[in-house]
Amino acid sequence: MNVLIVDDEDLARLRLRALLQALPEFDVNVVGEAGDAAQALAQLNTHMVDAVLLDIRMPGLTPHEGLHLAARLRAMPQPPAVIFVSAHAEHALKAFELEAVDYLTKPVRTERLRNALQRVQQRLQPLSTMQAVLQEAPALVVSDRGRVLRLPLPEVLVLKAGQKYVTLRTPGHEYVLDDSLSELEQRLAALGGNHLRIHRNALVARHAIRELALREGGEPGEESGDEAGGWAVRVAPLDEWLSVSRRQLAAVRAALAGRA
């Protein structure tokens, strides 16, 4: 894994290099260091870089030069993964909008850096290797906060989109995923999964749907949140109720009747 360290502080770069050397399992090669955006771009023109450890506040045209550099990296034909390293936590939301792999706050802890590198490693995994894993058995391969997991399709009961992440529920666990709900729906279909979209923000395994009911205070076809009234399905074995949208109501009824 080729890594470029970008930070205007010599001691900060030295510490990051030491932390990387303390994680031999990733076989990290620090191809260079840079103290500002111009130096970083020069290094990127010279070396093939898999990941950039990038500070946010550096010398440049703006106080947050690292964010602007990340935006430029994102536009590259083969952009490196970006791991932000900052003494300030308030830029985390903007960092993830730029599709950063992780956001580490100084002083960086070894375990947090390990998790970030695991995410980079997952991105670098050859497509052929991932396809081979998928072909071994009908299972969904997901990344949950740095861990790569294979979940047998019958255990994938509910996928629900929130503001930033998708939560996946199995009979005994809940996982937080970075993938979009639409992407997960396509992957499940390609694997032969039998999951039904019951709402714009939720997928449910057909075999887990036990009951469709109009909850108190709701009207037929009302698109509502979980807390409000409206049509909902009970999911077993979780024994939880999830809202059903008007446009999906017929499909849910057909699934319960065994016609879909």
Domains and CATH numbers, the chain: 2-124 (3.40.50.2300), 137-257 (2.40.50.1020)
The rounded distance, in Å, linking the Cα atoms of 53 and 232 is: 46
Side chain identity, residue 189: A
Rounded to two decimals, the pTM is 0.50
Q: What is the pLDDT of residue 217?
A: 53
**Cβ atoms 208, 196 nearer than 8 A:** no
What the block records as the tokens of 23 is 């994680």
CA 73, distance to chain mean position in Å, is: 19
pLDDT in tens for each of the 260 residues of the chain? 999 999 999 999 999 999 999 999 999 999 999 999 999 999 998 889 999 999 988 876 565 788 889 988 988 878 899 999 988 777 777 777 788 888 899 999 999 999 999 989 888 875 445 445 444 557 888 888 777 788 889 899 999 999 889 999 999 899 999 889 999 999 999 888 899 999 999 999 999 999 999 976 544 444 444 444 589 999 998 989 999 999 999 999 998 887 55
**Cβ atoms 51, 84 nearer than 8 A:** no
Identify whether 237 is preceded by a cis peptide bond (ω within 30 of 0).
Answer: yes
Q: What is the pLDDT of residue 257?
A: 84
Q: What is the pLDDT of residue 91?
A: 73
Side chain identity, residue 19: L
Helix axis angle for 110-124 and 10-21, nearest 10°, is: 70
Q: What is the pLDDT of residue 226?
A: 43
Angle at 213 between CA 207 and CA 219, to 5 degrees: 135
